[in-house]
Amino acid sequence: MPLPPQRARSRVAQAIIARSVPATILYEDDKCLVFRDVAPQAPVHFLVIPKRPIPRISRVGPQDTELLGHLLVVAARTAQAEGLADGYRLVINDGKHGAQSVYHLHLHVLGGRQLGWPPG
């Protein structure tokens, strides 16, 4: 029986971490992986994901504090390495109403042009 679309898409993150699905990797350490989005919404668009599966930002707890801080620091350092000195946007979608399509926590980093507000 095929997996529901949500679960199938969530497994893509694990497959990228395992290198069984190709991705353009920008950074990796023992806690996270950074790679280019396959459907970029800005000239620079990459994702920062924890290696430990966390389905949603709304499901984190106190035990995740250090990891979440690490993801933000890695996002900032990668943005700098990608030349986003004029700024960028960090986005975390959460749940159905937040337009989350992959249920493995991921931070979108978008930049390289003037972004509009409100976003959606």
Active site residues: 106
Burial class (CB in 10 A: 0-12, 13-18, 19+), 117: exposed
Instruction: Please tell me the distance from the alpha carbon of residue 36 to that of residue 38, in angstroms, as a whole number.
Output: 6
Characterize the bridge pairing of strands 32-36 and 44-50.
antiparallel
Instruction: Please tell me the distance from the alpha carbon of residue 80 to that of residue 11, in angstroms, as a whole number.
Output: 29
HSE toward the beta carbon, residue 28, CA cutoff 13 A: 10
